């Protein structure tokens, strides 16, 4: 059974497009889970340089690693 030259181009192209769409879908699912809530505040510890977030907007927050109080970097 002879294979049409057009099929040699179309079948790999379809497989590649399906793979790219699947990768984009997985990426979208993973980034959607990690989107930052608008209520989170970002802190950086002055002592140990750890970056962490807190759900409540407070002027100072305790570092989960060393316990030092830090001011927010970004709200």
**Model confidence pLDDT, tens digit, residues 11-61:** 999 999 999 999 999 998 888 766 655 677 889 999 999 999 888 778 889
The whole-model pTM stands at: 0.46
Kindly list the distances between the CA atom of residue 54 and the CA atoms of 27, 42, 67, in Å, as whole numbers in the listed order: 25, 7, 14
Residue 66 has pLDDT above 90, yes or no: yes
> Among 75, 16, 13, 10, which Cα is nearest to 61's?
75
Query: Does some domain include residue 50?
Result: yes
Range of the domain at 67: 41-74
Q: Quick one: pLDDT at residue 20?
A: 98
Number of domains making up the chain: 1
Query: Does some domain include residue 13?
Result: no
**Residues 55, 28: Cα–Cα separation, whole Å:** 24
Q: Quick one: pLDDT at residue 22?
A: 97
């Amino acid at each position: 059974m002879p294979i049409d030259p057009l099929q040699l181009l179309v079948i790999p192209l379809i497989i590649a497009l399906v793979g790219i769409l699947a990768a984009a879908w997985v990426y979208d699912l993973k980034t959607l889970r990690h989107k930052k809530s608008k209520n989170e505040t970002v802190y950086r510890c002055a002592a140990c340089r750890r970056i962490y977030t807190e759900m409540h907007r407070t002027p100072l927050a305790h570092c989960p690693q060393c316990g030092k109080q830090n001011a927010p970097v970004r709200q």
